[in-house]
Homo-oligomer: A and B are copies of this chain.
Amino acid sequence: MSFNSFGHLFRVMTWGESHGPALGATVDGCPPGVPLSEADIQPWMDARKPGQNRFTTQRREADAVEILSGVYEGRTTGTPIQLMIRNTDQRSKDYGEIAKTFRPGHADITYWQKYGIRDPRGGGRSSARETAARVAAGGVARQVLAALAPGLSVTGYMVQMGPRLIDRARFDWDAIAANPFWCPDAETAQLWADDLDALRKTGNSVGAVVEVVARGVPAGLGAPIYAKLDSELASAMMSINAVKGVEIGAGMASAALTGVENADEIRMGPNGPEYGSNHAGGVLGGISTGQDVVVRFAVKPTSSILTPRQSVTIDGQDTDVATKGRHDPCVGIRAVPVGEAMMACVLLDQLLLHRAQMGEGLRGSIG
């Protein structure tokens, strides 16, 4: 049990607050001998970094990772890796007022009720800033995956912002990094830009759906009941700030399907079984099939908005709350690299679990 960790064998504990001196991740269980330096992690940090365009918060953080332990002469040693990110742009201001009211839809109130103490500076621990530490840990996971499962890749993108969905017919992997929304459909990206500009002007925010796909995942990862691959992914994605729903493959839509429609039919291909469809999202009975692992999650709209909403104070007085400051109008955008990081961490963890119980490779062959 750990309140702030995830993973079983590749285990990540994140720590730190939005406005403290630093935050980070302590990574335990990393295999030794894997090439790792700050430069390997930084690109993923930069992808999540705020203030890069007008669609994300204007807080300016270098988000520079420092590796304090667990690496010697450019390789992991198998001992804990401490990843520290200093906070540099935590503006000093008077939090006296904020500390006494609760933003509707924000963790302010539950933190207070649970702990009887909260760090109001930028939301403290409940800030989306915590996800920087996850992205750093995900960077380590990616390095290890590159060594252990060379063909495996993890890619995230946004498929919905507000009520507007992408057109899957225009899906283009190359478009994803070419717009500020990680959108695989360039045309929709342009419409989202217009949508979001309009929303920002009214002091409002909007939700989104992020999809993360892992290609090249070997069959056999997962376990029958509670360490199921899909169960682990659901837990991982739902642990990201503001996520309210998680789907694997056909997801919620599978409820409307019949068994005949939902069956991913199989035919023997040159390299083993091939599937005619992927309603399963690459997971059957909690175990990977070798198809793409497909996860989607919904990110609710940012609760810190300029439009006043009804709320109460710590003293039990009714009040109206409008949140000034630097906030993401669509926090879903920056959740894309975070979802990727969680996918990478879960897959690596499952790979190690599989290797523990089974040894290298699969046990059962087909054909």
Contact = CB atoms under 8 A, between A and B. Distances in A.
Interface string A249-291: 1111111111111111111100011001001110111111110
A38 to B, nearest CB: 12
A79 interface: yes
Nearest to A283: B110
Interface in A209-261: 209, 219-228, 230-239, 241, 243-261
B260 A204 contact: yes
B244 A247 contact: yes
- The 10 A-B pairs at the shortest CB distance, nearest first, are namely A316-B367, A107-B285, A116-B363, A356-B356, A205-B259, A110-B287, A235-B235, A15-B80, A234-B238, A245-B251
A115 B33 contact: yes
Q: Which of A13, A17, A205 has the most CB of B within 10 A?
A: A13
Nearest to A6: B226
A200 to B, nearest CB: 11
A59 interface: no
Interface centre among A225, A286, A311 (most CB of B within 10 A): A225
Nearest to A281: B244
A338 interface: no
A309 B247 CA distance: 25
Interface string A1-38: 11111101101011111001111101011111100000
Interface string A52-90: 000000000000001011101001111111101000000
A305 interface: yes
12 contacts: A2-B28, A32-B115, A32-B116, A109-B366, A110-B222, A113-B364, A114-B220, A251-B298, A265-B309, A312-B367, A317-B367, A352-B357
A15 B239 contact: no
A95 to B, nearest CB: 10
Interface stretch (A41-49, A98-106, A176-184): A98-106
Contacts of A340: none
A98 B289 CA distance: 19
Contacts of A124: 72, 77, 79
Contact of A234 (B118, B235, B290): B235
B260 A309 contact: yes
Sort chain A's interface into a size bin. 35 or more
Contact of A301 (B6, B76, B262, B307): B262
A353 interface: yes
A3 to B, nearest CB: 4
A31 B358 contact: yes
A360 interface: yes
A299 interface: yes
A191 B222 CA distance: 38
A155 interface: no
A285 B106 contact: yes
Contacts of A247: 244-245, 252, 298
Interface string A112-140: 11111111000011100010000000000
A166 interface: no
B162 A255 contact: yes
Interface in A124-180: 124-126, 130, 160-163
